[in-house]
Amino acid sequence: MPKQLNKATESIKIGYLLFVLGFAFLPLFIMIVVSFKTNQQYQANPFFFDPVSEWNWGNWSFAWHTVSGYIWNSIFVSVLSTLSTISMVLLSAYALARYRFPGRNIVFYGIIASMFLPGTAATLVTLFDLLKQLNLINSLWALVLMGTNSGQIAGIFLIKQFIEDIPGSLFEAAQMDGAGHLHQIRHIVLPMSIPVISICMIMDFLGTWNNVILPLIVLRDEELLTIPVGLMRLEGEYVKEYGQMMAGFAISSVPLVIMFLFTMKTFVKGLAAGAVKG
C-alpha cells in the first residue's frame, strides 16, 4: 500500500469512485422510482419519488402475477444446475489434483482447452440440433444440463488449484484411517475450500440465472419460461406500462438480492483473497 498520501489525493480517489458508482447505481434507482409510477407520472417526474399517497402499488401486484411463475422456473433451473455443477466439479477436481493416472493430462487439458474454444452463435445451431435429438426441446432439463456444462471448466480450474494447496498429509492421514475418496472430499476438501467453492457456485448461479438465448430458443410453452425471457416478453408488449415493467424487473432481482445478502461477505473476501487470480 502506498504510504504518502494526503487528504487531497484521498478525496480525488473517493470522488472518482463515487462518480462511477453513482452512475452505476442510477439504473437501480430509476427502476425503484418508476416502479411506483403510472406512465403519466413517469413523464412528469422521472427522477424522484412522488408523495407516498400517489404511489401506484398496482404495478407491483400486476408484476408479481406476471413474473412469479417465471421466478420458480428460474430457481428450479439455477439451483439444480449449480448443485450438479459443483458436485461434478468437486469429484473431478479432487481426482485431478490429488492423483496421477493414465489419461489425467488428456482430461485436464481437454477441459482447459475447451475454455479457449469460444462458442459462436453457430454453436447454438448445432447445440439446438443436439438437444432436439436428445428430446430436450421445450424442457427445463435442457437448461439444467447446459448450465452444468458451462460451469465445469472454470470450476475445475479454480478448485483444482485450491485442492493442490491443501497439505497432502491431511489426505494421507485420512487414508490411513481407511477413508475413501468420497469421504475425503466430504470431510477435507469441502470444509477447507469453502471460499472458492462459494465463488464458483455464485458464478454458476448467476450464469444460469442470466442466460437468455438458450431458453429463448429451447422453451416454447409460456409456463416454462425463465425470468430473462419472461421479462423480454413483458418488455416487448405493444403498449408499454413502464411502471409495471420496472416493478417486474425489481421483483425478478429479489432472489439474487437474497442470495447475495447471505454470501456477500464470503464472496468479497474470497475475491480479495485472490481466488480469482487469473
Partner 1 sequence: MTDAALPVSPAPGKQTFARLLNRLKELSKLYMLVLPSSIIILVLGYYPKIDVVVKSMYRWVPGEVEEFIGFKNFIDAFSDPLFWNSFQLIFILLIANLFKMWPGIFAAVALHRLMNEKARYIFQVCFVIPMVIPGMVWLLIWKSFYDPDFGVFNRILNASGLMNFLHWLDGSRDVPGVMPRLASALEPLIDGPITLLFASTWGLILSGSFLLTLSGHGADKSTRHKASGIILATSLIPLLVSNAPSNGVVFILAIAVFASLMFALAKTLGPRWVIWMFLFFGSLYGFANNFPLLFLNVAAGILISEILRQTRERFNAEAKIKFIATALFLFGTFLVLFAQTWTDPTGQFELGTPAWLGNRDLVIPALLFWGFPWVGTMGVLIYLAGLQQIPTDVYEAAEIDGIGPIGMLFRIELPLILTQVRINLIFMTIATLTSYEMFLILLGPSGGPGNRGMVPGLYMFSKAFIDGQFGYACALGMVLFVIILGLTVIYNKYVKVDK
Q: Which of residues 183-202 bind partner 1 (CB under 8 A)?
A: none
Look up cell 438437444; give the residue: 131
CB-CB contact of 188 with 175 (8 Å)? no
The answer to the question of residue 5 lying near partner 1 (CB under 8 A) is yes
Give residue 193's region: left, alpha or beta (phi > 0; psi -120 to 50): alpha
Min separation Cβ 217 and partner 1, Å: 7
Min separation Cβ 211 and partner 1, Å: 9
Q: Using CB under 8 A, which of 73, 148, 193, 208 touches partner 1?
A: 148
Nearer to partner 1, 43 or 138 (CB): 43
Q: Which of residues 48-87 bind partner 1 (CB under 8 A)?
A: none
d(CA 42, CA 36): 9
Q: Using CB under 8 A, which of 65, 132, 186, 187 touches partner 1?
A: 132
Nearer to partner 1, 110 or 186 (CB): 110
Min separation Cβ 277 and partner 1, Å: 7
Min separation Cβ 177 and partner 1, Å: 14
Nearer to partner 1, 53 or 142 (CB): 142
Convert residues 202-241 into a mask of x (bound to partner 1 by CB under 8 A) and - (unbound): ----x--xx-xx---x---------xx--xx--x------
Nearer to partner 1, 24 or 52 (CB): 24
Nearer to partner 1, 23 or 53 (CB): 23
Instruction: Find the part of the chain contacting partner 1 (CB under 8 A) among 49-57, 61-69, 189-197, 261-269.
Output: 261-269
d(CA 68, CA 105): 46
Nearer to partner 1, 194 or 264 (CB): 264
Residue of 229, 264, 217 whose CA lies nearest to 74: 229
Q: Using CB under 8 A, which of 54, 164, 222, 237 touches partner 1?
A: 164
Convert residues 12-51 into a mask of x (bound to partner 1 by CB under 8 A) and - (unbound): -xx-xx-xxx-xxxxxx-xx-------x--xx--xx----
Nearer to partner 1, 53 or 274 (CB): 274
